């Protein structure tokens, strides 16, 4: 396969999935991982991909926030694997806060039954998913409606957070930097999450492997504030670099 054809295929997969991995591209394209790395470096220099550890992301993922529907269509298998691990860290009668990420939406789908849980969220999708559950108390925080993100935000949302006990906060983010922590492209979302981080008793980050090493704009939680980071099997290589040292980490 010619380099030009490989590049076209790589960009096609990145646009569809949001990210590509060196190892999987090597198998798919029938070339060595070193060849794939050179291809990704070339596409990155041209400004067509954003290079990350172990692969690359579609360039727009580094510079804009995706809508709710766009987010829900990416890395679905990885998010399910992460959710199944994260829900093991729920205790009986916990008050749990969920953010408006698509990973939190998957987490809501896997919530165990009959534990006397109270679920607090500002995400419309989470409430829609849990509306049929009679064994849960669900609280939706109000505020300014953000139709693109399918969530509420602003001062009223933050006041609602402070008015409640939050035992555990399960959240995601747009990217993880080993020095700065986890961030978001949207400053309002980052500020709200920083408020929850300061208020919650225990914090669990749920990040699929495409987020690890990705730069973003507004950081809301430092690495030392994270009690647990759950990622999928694709994050094993990143963990092996030592950049997650000091953060308890589990793979889904």
Largest CA-CA distance found in the chain, in angstroms, rounded: 60
Tell which residue, 170, 156, 146, has the closest CA to residue 94. Answer: 170
248 touches 227 (CB < 8 A): yes
CA 172/CA 161 separation, integer angstroms: 17
Q: How far is it, in rounded angstroms, from Cα 9 to Cα 28?
A: 10
How many degrees, rounded to 5, is the angle at CA 194 between CA 188 and CA 251? 110
pLDDT digits (tens, 9 = 90+) for 155-164: 999 999 999 9
Q: Quick check: pTM over 0.85?
A: no
Per-residue confidence band for 209, with pLDDT thresholds at 50, 70 and 90? very high
Query: So what's the pLDDT on residue 63?
Result: 47
Domains and CATH numbers, the chain: 3-62 (1.10.10.10), 68-251 (3.40.50.1360)
**pLDDT tens, residue by residue, 13-53:** 888 777 788 888 998 999 999 999 999 989 888 878 878 77
């Amino acid at each position: 396969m010619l380099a030009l054809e490989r590049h076209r295929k790589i960009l096609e997969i990145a646009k569809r999935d949001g990210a590509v991995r060196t190892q999987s591209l090597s198998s798919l394209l029938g070339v060595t991982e070193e060849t794939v790395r050179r291809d990704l470096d070339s596409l990155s220099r041209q400004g067509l991909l954003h290079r990350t550890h172990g692969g690359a992301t579609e360039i727009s993922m580094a510079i804009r926030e995706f809508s709710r529907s766009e987010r829900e269509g990416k890395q679905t298998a990885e998010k399910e694997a992460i959710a199944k691990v994260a829900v093991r860290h729920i205790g009986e009668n916990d008050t749990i806060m969920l953010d408006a990420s698509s990973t939190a939406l998957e987490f809501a789908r896997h919530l165990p039954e009959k534990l006397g849980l109270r679920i607090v969220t500002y995400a419309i999708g989470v409430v829609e998913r849990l509306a049929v559950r009679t064994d849960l108390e669900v609280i939706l925080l109000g505020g300014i409606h953000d139709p693109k993100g399918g969530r509420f935000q602003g001062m009223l949302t933050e006041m609602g957070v402070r008015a409640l006990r939050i035992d555990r906060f399960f959240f995601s983010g747009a990217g993880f930097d080993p020095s700065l922590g986890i961030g978001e492209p949207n400053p309002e979302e980052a500020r709200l999450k920083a408020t929850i981080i300061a208020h919650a008793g225990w914090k669990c980050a749920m990040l699929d492997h495409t987020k690890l090493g990705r730069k973003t704009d507004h950081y809301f939680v430092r690495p030392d504030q994270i009690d647990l980071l759950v990622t999928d099997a694709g994050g094993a290589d990143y963990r092996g670099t030592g950049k997650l040292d000091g953060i308890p980490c589990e793979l889904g």
